[in-house]
Amino acid sequence: MTTTPENQAATYRNVHRLHATRGFAKGAQVRGLSQNAIQLNELNYETASGMQSISDYMKKSRTSGILILKDGKVALERYALGNSEKSLWTSFSVAKSLTSMLIGMAVKEGHIRSLEDPVERYVPGLSASAYAGCSIRSLLRMTSGVAWNEEYATTSESDIAKLVQGFSSNQPGAVMGLMRSKPRAAPVGSAFNYSTGESYVLGAVLAGAIGGNLSDYLSRSVWGPAGMESDGYWLLDAPGGLEMGGNNFSATLRDYGRLGLFMLEGGADSSRLPVGWRELSGQPDNPVTAHGRLFPDYPLGYGYQWWSFPAGEAFGLHGGAFTAQGIFGQFIYVNPQQRVVAVIWSAWQAPWVPELELETYAVLGTALAVLNR
């Protein structure tokens, strides 16, 4: 939040040097990523000011890594800002979508009885808070009704600033104390309110359900089965504490891509995720989070911690796709219809730049058209 543009890339590569983290481990087998027959290194896309190249896009958006996979094969892989295939880059809120995936696995494995279970069943410490009575499903949708200000600022009104203060204090229980203190702002299920704190609570629910930590669960449930090539790590709320379910795991670009493939393929095989979990996670399942209902003039909807494109001709080849998004321009894009996964790492100079989000999807839309020939 306070680093300079010159230091952004080095900071995003080295979160483990700033805060407490916990590692998660690759498995014995690596999933190979061969080259796609169609390559996109010379990709050009149209903008209001004329045709632009992929190099133009990377420079404009301060892209530090881009990977596009078609049928699990590499159509484009490029690095910048000092990154390489060995670099670990932080995810920001892309972690929310990973936490959602792990919740699905916990349901499949019976650790979570039902998404209608109240959160205090797994986190008894929230029984006297505004989260009491909220279902796990309401947290997945960001519709708990618990107050939260997701302003990316250092002001006293920003709950994000308070969250950062909590895990930066290295005091066990500081972040959970913040979540217990939040009041109710709306009835459960009545309003969408994007909240990194809400995803932290989801992580706590998961930890309570599995009786362990998220990183170890990720190692055995995803990082090994998906064939990741490198270990990674996850930001904690305090040394030895709980993973921040809403933000900041770190991994290589190709392993982000394998994570997208794991979701695209429904968990690598039918035993990993509940039947239909990909569709349930990737598309809104109620009117409050429906396409076009989240923010004024914003067409995407919200599934279970994934942003969702509407189906239909209006969005062309993006129809039915869904994305994990993180501030400063982090994306995992999953398009089941086109069998495409894309990963973009960036160091935008503001937490969110709507014009760069739209341009990112323009680049990906052009890539889909070329790959679809």
Location of structure tokens 């009575």: 133
In a domain, 1, yes or no: no
In a domain, 2, yes or no: no
CB-based contacts of 275, cutoff 8 Å, min separation 6: none
Q: Which domain, by its residues, includes 264?
A: 7-371
Residue 161 identity (one-letter amino acid): A
Closest CA to 132 of 184, 95, 177, 79: 184
Q: How far apart are CA 267 and CA 93, in angstroms?
A: 21
Tokens of 3: 């680093």
Q: How far is CA 301 from CA 53, 195, 247, in A?
A: 29, 15, 20
As a whole number of angstroms, the distance between CA 282 and CA 307 comes to 7
pLDDT tens per residue, the chain (373 residues)?
788 999 999 999 999 999 999 999 999 999 999 999 999 999 999 998 899 999 999 999 999 999 999 999 999 999 999 999 999 999 999 999 999 999 999 999 999 999 999 999 999 999 999 999 999 999 999 999 999 999 998 888 899 999 999 999 999 999 999 999 999 999 999 999 999 999 999 999 999 999 999 999 999 999 999 999 999 999 999 999 999 999 999 999 999 999 999 999 986 555 688 989 999 999 999 999 999 999 999 999 999 999 999 987 768 899 999 999 999 999 999 999 999 999 999 999 999 999 999 999 999 999 999 999 8
What is the crossing angle of helices 159-168 and 196-210, to 10°? 50
Q: How much is the pTM?
A: 0.97
Residue 254 lies in a domain: yes
pLDDT number for residue 311: 87
Residue 132 identity (one-letter amino acid): A
CB atoms within 10 A of CB 158: 17
Rg of the chain taking only CA atoms, in angstroms: 19
- DSSP alpha helix (H) spans, the chain: 5-13, 54-60, 94-108, 136-140, 159-168, 174-181, 196-210, 214-218, 253-264, 277-282, 354-371
Domain count, the chain: 1
Other Cβ atoms less than 10 A from the Cβ of 268: the count is 18
Are the C-beta atoms of residues 332 and 321 closer than 8 Å to each other? no
pLDDT score of 156: 82
**Beta carbons within 10 angstroms of residue 110's beta carbon:** 8
Burial readout 67-93 (b: 16 or more C-beta within 10 A, e: otherwise): bbbbebebbbbbbbbebeeebbbbbbb
CATH of the domain at 286: 3.40.710.10
248: region left, alpha or beta (phi > 0 left; psi from -120 to 50 alpha): left
Q: What is the pLDDT of residue 268?
A: 56
Q: Are 203 and 98 in contact (CB under 8 A)?
A: no
- Name the β-bridge partners of 311: none
DSSP string, 95-131: HHHHHHHHHHHHHHTTSS--TTSBGGGT-GGGTTSTT
